[in-house]
Chains A and B, each alone.
Chain A
Amino acid sequence: MSKDPFKTRLEIAKKKVDKRNSNSKNLNPSPIGNAFKLSTELVSAVAVGTIIGFILDKTFGTKPWLILIFFFVGVVAGIANVIRSAKNMQK
């Protein structure tokens, strides 16, 4: 009996922590936080798409076209964002 009881207890506690860490993979922030997250993700992607389109239009002088295209690409990116984080929530 070379081990002192404290070390044994420490090992047991460490194993418990490892076990808890491995099976508590699901992250569970409250639903209201999730709702805010989804809404801003959709809006911000649209905003970024529009801004990129606006800048590209300015540099290339193709006034209305790129901003239109990038607006819709931004909408698609926003919807993809929302779907992705909704999938993450369900995991």
Chain B
Amino acid sequence: MAANPMNQFEVYRIGPEIKIGTFDISFTNASLFMIVSSFAILFIFNLGSKKKSVIPNKIQLLAELSYSFVAKMISDTAGSKARPYFAFIFSLFMFVLFCNMFGMIPYTFTVTSHIIVTFMLAAFIFIGVTIIGFIKHGFGYLKLFVPSGVPIVLLPLIVVIEIISYLSRPISLSVRLFANMMAGHTMMKVFGGFVVSLGIVGGWLPLSFSVALTGLEILVAFLQAYVFAILTCIYLNDALNLHH
């Protein structure tokens, strides 16, 4: 096993090389774990919603709890107008959560520790929210960049600042998830390496750190999925209820 802590983030090809033009679209370990987590979600929620008993069993309880958790999150942050987007936010939250959680199992690959994956998710949200804003408000959506009560002299500067802060949304959204996942997994690997190199004499301290870090990482995995979803709700709220 390689001692390099960054080795775990390596993407490698599984199966034959597939190319369309100059694009390499081969099946990689990242794609494998995305598919695994998607199927895990489908499996759990199919099983949970198949038998609609009044007294739920464990899997039904899990499905119902996560439904009401996301529903409450949406109604708290974006109000009742955001109800039609429930399915999108729910699948987004579940996908990020399951990718993060699958990464916690040893020898698996963490899909969300790659910035391109998180950035694609964030860019998709950003473009979608912008389109929704323009559909709902037309060109009035541009009022988002012009706060009320600003003197006319300062207006050009304020508009530039607002545009930059609007464009920074997908970057902050993606970097947050990516950096947390990558830093956490690197740290776990480094402490794991210390356990091996210090041996049976001094290895107990980093081992206890590793145990504590695993708990922390599970918390972070959940929390980052939650933050990702709640920020999507907040951006959606900005687009639906335009008040600035």
| Secondary structure type dominating chain A contacts | helix
Q: If A32-B223, A48-B167, A49-B164 touch, does A43 touch B175 (CB 8 Å cutoff)?
A: yes
Count chain A residues whose beta carbon lies closer than 8 angstroms to a beta carbon of B. Answer: 27
Stretch at the interface among B46-54, B94-102, B225-233: B225-233
Q: Which residue of A lies closest to B171 (CB)?
A: A44
Total contacts A-B at CB 8 Å: 69
B91 part of interface (Cβ distance < 8 Å): no
Question: Interface residues of B: mostly helix, strand, loop or mixed?
Answer: helix
The answer to whether B223 touches A77 (Cβ under 8 A) is no
Contact A33 B160 (CB under 8 A): no
CB interface residues, A 12-55, toward B, < 8 Å: 21, 24-25, 27, 29-30, 32-33, 36-37, 40-41, 43-45, 47-49, 52
CB distance from B182 to the nearest CB of A (A): 13
The residue from B76, B77, B160, B231 contacting A73, defined by CB atoms under 8 A apart: B160
Question: Closest residue of chain A to B179, judged by CB?
Answer: A40
Task: Give the residues in chain B near A36, CB-CB below 8 Å.
Answer: 176, 180, 224, 227
The closest CB in chain A to the CB of B165 belongs to A77
A37 touching B176 by the CB < 8 A rule?
yes
- A80 in the interface (beta carbon within 8 A): yes
The smallest C-beta distance from A32 to any residue of chain B, in angstroms, reads 6
- Among B157, B162, B168, B219, the most chain A Cβ lie within 10 Å of the Cβ of B168
Bound CA–CA A32/B176 (angstroms): 12
Structural contact, B175 and A80, CB atoms closer than 8 A:
no
Tell me if A76 is interfacial: C-beta within 8 Å of chain B: yes
Can you list 8 contacts pairing A with B, beta carbon distance less than 8 Å? A24-B76, A33-B227, A37-B231, A40-B179, A43-B175, A48-B168, A78-B165, A80-B161
